[in-house]
Structure 1
Amino acid sequence: MTILRDAGLGQFIHYASGGKYFKHPEESPNFDTSFLREVTDSESAKHEALDSRPISRDGAASALDVDLEKSPTANRTATRSKDGTLLVGWYSEDDVENPLNWSPLKKYSVALIICLYTVSVYLGAAIFSSSQPGVMEDFGVSLIASSLGMALYILAYGIGPMIFSPLSEIPAIGRTTPYLITFFIHVILLIPTSLVDNFAGLLVLRFLLGFFGSPCLATSGASFQDIFPGEQMTYIIGIWAAITSCGPSLGPLLATFSIEHFDWHWSQWEMLMLSGPVLILMVAALPETSAATILLRRARRLRAATGNPAIKSQSEIDQSHLSISSVTFNALVKPWEINILDPAMLFTTFYTGLLYGIFYTFFEAFPLVYEGVYHFSAGGLSLAFLSVFVAQVTIAPSYLLHWRYVVHPGIKKNGIKQLEDFLKPALVSCFALPIGLFIFAWTSRASVHWIVSMLGVSITGCGMYVTLQVIFIYVPLSYPKYAASLFAANALARSLFAFAAILYATPMFEKLGIDGGVSLLAGCTVLCCGGMWVLYYCGPWLRARSRFAVG
């Protein structure tokens, strides 16, 4: 019931009913607030820094049996600060309101909703590729111009995190509010996008769709971190990354056959058919996950129940010290300062951007290869993208099993000797990238069966998955203070590379051919293999001299 109470719909019903339905424990007339009225100095010392106390992270089912309205007030504590403020936190170590103590069912339900949300947004980029021939015909534009529909969408969902990621860290806003508001706008915009009859309007709408769909790309990791303990995060992020990476590979398949029977608008109608139910699910069953926001709302309810304005949460006090200038600087300037001054960070940003750019060149290369060389139909071309899907469902379990039986036991036994140890899988996977790309480049010809080139794509996809996962683990561990802003900047860099790749890919392949163009990209990944090995061996030295990384 709490998942419905804390979701957007439950909060609306609560507000509209004047608090009659979906009540929180603090809003019950039977809720005992005496622990707030009688806080002695000794109690304050005993329960100092309540918000930072160790919390039970195993989500024990026994916590679900606790009745917060009837549990002993001895379990509820508050801390009195020197200025008389009463700081409230979790009522106990097993407080069921703490996202880390949620039941496994609630945690995995929230994770599933976030995955569906992310897939629907990621899929929206690639699904447009099936519409490009129809857009070219209806509006009389070139192939490169028609590809702007996909390129601008990707650019926009790289820009969005620079704004939405900092907003989600403000306790008064939280994670879920930006999700719901922006995705609602995203879904509404799909209606005019499905009906638009002019090219300029189509491009504007596609840009706005990407922008308002971007919060999940910026904040999903933070939402998972809110509810899962550190030892589970590797698996959750790994599964999320594999699921979301399947979105672009499935996009062309979902749209191609309907477009053949109707017109190019159907790719956007199908986005609406997918995103609409996901939005309804989010409104009905996606609760707030930020502990800072949950405690801030608890403090508000306690103030209303007692009439005591001195009751606050620590996050509420911290929020009062935030300024627009500091938030803007940390979001827009600091990550680029770190990239300019820190060679390790600059390399990881460039490498991840290059990989995303290469991934999206496939959407321009596949029609040239599988329609131009192998004479696939439109439906057959869409099936070729499943080579990326196969790569994800093959490599993700292997990678996570490696963590389960090699990495985690090693950490438990010996601890973390140096952060660069997390880069070891990428020392191998980085070579899969040029190998797969060279196979695709030099076997995409009529004399070689098409399955061989697809094998090259799958090898490349496997290398991308492992390399990106390793980098996304290494960066927050090396730069914990700036992790959120660095990931937002990294998302923008990836989108810029992908945006450029979509536009330069066709002219490059026309000039150099598939073999020459893809070989050029493979050569870039060979250089990055060297960079990865340098980072592994020189990383400790670079971190020790960095103003931003942990030593």
Structure 2
Amino acid sequence: MPGIFRDAPFGQICRMVLGPQVFPYPDEKEGFQFPVPESEKKKSVSIHGDVERAEPDENSLSPPSGSESESKSDHQSVSWYSDGDLENPQMWSTAKKTFTFFQICLLTFSVYSGSAIITPAQPVFIHIFGVSAQESSLMLSMYVLGYGVGPLFFSPMSEVPRLGRNIPYFASFTLFIIITAVTSRVSNFPGLVVLRFLQGFLGGPVLATGGASAADIFSFPKISYGLIFWGGAALAGPALGPLLAGFSVPLTTWRWSMYELLILCGFSWLLLFFCLPETNADFILLKRAQRLRRSTGNEKLRSESEIKQGNLQFLNLLGGYLTTPFLVMLRDPSIAFINLYTGLIYGIFYSFFESFPIVYTQIYGFSVGITGVIFLCVIIAFIFGGSTYLCLTKFHYEPYTLKYFVGSPEHRLLPGVFAAFIAPFGIFIFAWTSREDITWVAPTIGIVLYLSCVFILTMCIFIYLPMSYPRYAASLFAANTFLRSAVACGAIHFSQPLFNNLGIGKGCSVLGGLTFGCFFGIFAIWKYGDKLRARSTFAQVY
């Protein structure tokens, strides 16, 4: 438990203000001695205390085990002290991993729920501000666009070893809460639109960095288990947002949607501040190298990330990470298509927020609050989709990984091929059963079928993207988040005239047809993605 407090923002701030004697690391304690390989034990060096020791010769490397000789750049590499080093996130106990990743999922859920939590208030905005239905939808679309743009600027920073994951998490989420508090008190429509965009913009880095954090904590064969729950949080957030505010807004004021978001995010922030440890291995080792340089006076000690980056300036390094999301889409057509396809299925998901009032309020006569309860079908979809993918992971992909390790990234897309084929049928069921003479259960079944397939597709994509270019995981997720958010933003606005002009049946059939057409694209990437990646100029640079 002290280790969790020490590595969380709270502990790091305490160490900065009060000194390293508060929450000390093992290598800062009296009598610490480097663990070294058996062959090097005679050369082990005690850092603190008066332990008798033999001085290493100029070419020996006394610090951490796993380092065999001094690097060609005349630096000594600082790595994990042993294979079971407890500062290595992948060596944490199951309880610590679970608690840490629960916080990341909660942060993801909190930010995502902020998107649709305001939708029950859209009719209120039409009344009190005198705006059209399209203008009122800006409350949702600007937030969605914002959390697509935000990761492009902030999330790649989490790939910079000098920043780690917690600095982007803490900075962006704190600003997100501040902007949410301001949004809850604004009294003019243009101000609300701008602030809703800023809310999404500042919350976006939290969303795009979660997948990279999962890769930090879980070993490769186990990462799918973490991503299943992270994906569930991402899916449940927008779906349960209307439920959170569906009963309070009609009875009080639209501001309660923001108050409820503040309560949820306030609890998430407290956990983040006091209990979320750093998960980026490069950042942890960089900080270890800095501590060892201070305690030993040996300026040759460097972490691997410092050695690789050499004297590269921080701004140049950051610029490279910020341009990566665009470069990978331009140079690898398979990644570009995956991002566009994710945008389509995400846009259809958000179009449901415009179709639900038409179907369940106008056709079936449900109240705003009860219509919000219908979104609980997303949880049912997560249970079906998550259970299916969990079984695939347990009985096929985990044994496959243990045998072939990475294997073919395209092999991870195979469940997505089947899901992409089935998903349009869910849309068609929703489209043509949304009638007064057919029970409301029928279109709801269509939603469950579609979203179950979407969940499986999303899991396949979340695995495929970082496997394609592991080093740029956060940048790949940032690009994916941007594309799907941009398409979803447009979908929120084109879905209203689409449904009003064509009706639910024909309007959703258009979306179902597009979805079925994209099935052939997913099939092509599964079949030929490795050849496309081999020909991409980004792969050659990488």
TM-score (norm 2): 0.91
Residue deviations 1:406-443 (CA, integer Å, cap 9, x gap): 23334545777644322221221112221011111111
Residue 331 (structure 1) aligns with: 322
Give the Cα separation in 2 of the matches to 1:397 and 1:272. Answer: 32
Residue 531 (structure 1) aligns with: 521
Q: Shift in Å at residue 158 of structure 1?
A: 0.7
1:30–1:184 CA distance, 2 compared to 1 (3 A) = same
Residue 479 (structure 2) aligns with: 489
Instruction: Choose which of 440, 455, 458 in structure 2 pairs with 1:468.
Output: 458
Give the Cα separation in 2 of the matches to 1:167 and 1:543. Answer: 25
Residue deviations 1:137-175 (CA, integer Å, cap 9, x gap): 221111111111111111111111111222111222110
Amino acid of the structure 1 residue aligned with 2:340? F
Q: Shift in Å at residue 541 of structure 1?
A: 3.5
Q: Does 1:521 align with 2:511?
A: yes
1:26-425 alignment, distance < 5 Å: 26-32=27-33, 34=45, 38-40=55-57, 43-44=60-61, 53=66, 80-82=70-72, 84-319=74-309, 320-322=311-313, 324-325=315-316, 327-332=318-323, 334-412=324-402, 418-425=408-415
Q: Shift in Å at residue 474 of structure 1?
A: 2.3
Q: Shift in Å at residue 454 of structure 1?
A: 0.6
Contact kept? 1:429, 1:467, Cα under 8 Å: yes
1:489–1:143 CA distance, 2 compared to 1 (3 A) = same
Give the Cα separation in 2 of the matches to 1:460 and 1:92. Answer: 47
Q: Shift in Å at residue 244 of structure 1?
A: 2.4
TM-score (norm 1): 0.89
Amino acid of the structure 1 residue aligned with 2:282? A
Q: SS at 1:23's partner residue?
A: coil
Q: Does 1:543 align with 2:533?
A: yes
1:14–1:536 CA distance, 2 compared to 1 (3 A) = closer
Residue 422 (structure 2) aligns with: 432
Q: Shift in Å at residue 106 of structure 1?
A: 1.1
Could you tell which deviates more after superposition, 9-18 or 178-187? 9-18
Residue 8 (structure 1) aligns with: 9
Amino acid of the structure 1 residue aligned with 2:290? R
> Identical aligned pairs, as a percentage?
42
Q: Shift in Å at residue 369 of structure 1?
A: 0.9
Contact kept? 2:150, 2:201, Cα under 8 Å: yes
Could you tell which deviates more after superposition, 190-199 or 267-276? 190-199
Q: SS at 1:469's partner residue?
A: helix
Amino acid of the structure 1 residue aligned with 2:3? T
Give the Cα separation in 2 of the matches to 1:313 and 1:541. Answer: 35
Q: Does 1:455 align with 2:456?
A: no
Give the Cα separation in 2 of the matches to 1:85 and 1:447. Answer: 76
Residue 18 (structure 2) aligns with: 17
Q: Shift in Å at residue 548 of structure 1?
A: 3.5
Q: Shift in Å at residue 290 of structure 1?
A: 1.0
Amino acid of the structure 2 residue aligned with 1:421? H
Instruction: Choose which of 492, 504, 513 in structure 1 pairs with 2:494.
Output: 504
Instruction: Choose which of 438, 442, 456 in structure 1 pairs with 2:432.
Output: 442
Amino acid of the structure 1 residue aligned with 2:146? A
Contact kept? 2:430, 2:447, Cα under 8 Å: yes
1:323–1:12 CA distance, 2 compared to 1 (3 A) = closer
Q: SS at 2:162's partner residue?
A: coil
Residue 73 (structure 1) aligns with: none
Residue deviations 1:473-494 (CA, integer Å, cap 9, x gap): 2233234454432321111000
Q: SS at 1:214's partner residue?
A: helix
1:15–1:78 CA distance, 2 compared to 1 (3 A) = farther
Give the Cα separation in 2 of the matches to 1:89 and 1:260. Answer: 57
Contact kept? 2:430, 2:446, Cα under 8 Å: yes
1:455–1:195 CA distance, 2 compared to 1 (3 A) = same
Contact kept? 2:381, 2:448, Cα under 8 Å: yes
Q: CA RMSD in A?
A: 2.3
Give the Cα separation in 2 of the matches to 1:297 and 1:419. Answer: 33
Could you tell which deviates more after superposition, 401-410 or 352-361? 401-410
Structure 1: unaligned runs, 5 residues or longer: 54-76
Give the Cα separation in 1 of the matches to 2:491 and 2:118. Answer: 16
Q: SS at 1:372's partner residue?
A: helix
Contact kept? 1:78, 1:89, Cα under 8 Å: no
Residue deviations 1:523-548 (CA, integer Å, cap 9, x gap): 10111112222222333433343334
Give the Cα separation in 1 of the matches to 2:17 and 2:158. Answer: 25
Amino acid of the structure 2 residue aligned with 1:305? S
Amino acid of the structure 2 residue aligned with 1:254? L
Structure 2: unaligned runs, 5 residues or longer: 35-44, 48-53
Q: SS at 1:30's partner residue?
A: coil
Give the Cα separation in 2 of the matches to 1:274 and 1:443. Answer: 36
Amino acid of the structure 1 residue aligned with 2:110? S
Contact kept? 1:183, 1:213, Cα under 8 Å: yes
Q: Shift in Å at residue 266 of structure 1?
A: 0.3
Give the Cα separation in 2 of the matches to 1:137 and 1:173. Answer: 46
Amino acid of the structure 2 residue aligned with 1:6? D
Give the Cα separation in 2 of the matches to 1:35 and 1:89. Answer: 17
Q: Shift in Å at residue 83 of structure 1?
A: 5.3
Q: SS at 1:87's partner residue?
A: strand
Could you tell which deviates more after superposition, 269-278 or 234-243? 234-243
Q: Shift in Å at residue 222 of structure 1?
A: 1.2
Contact kept? 1:78, 1:86, Cα under 8 Å: no
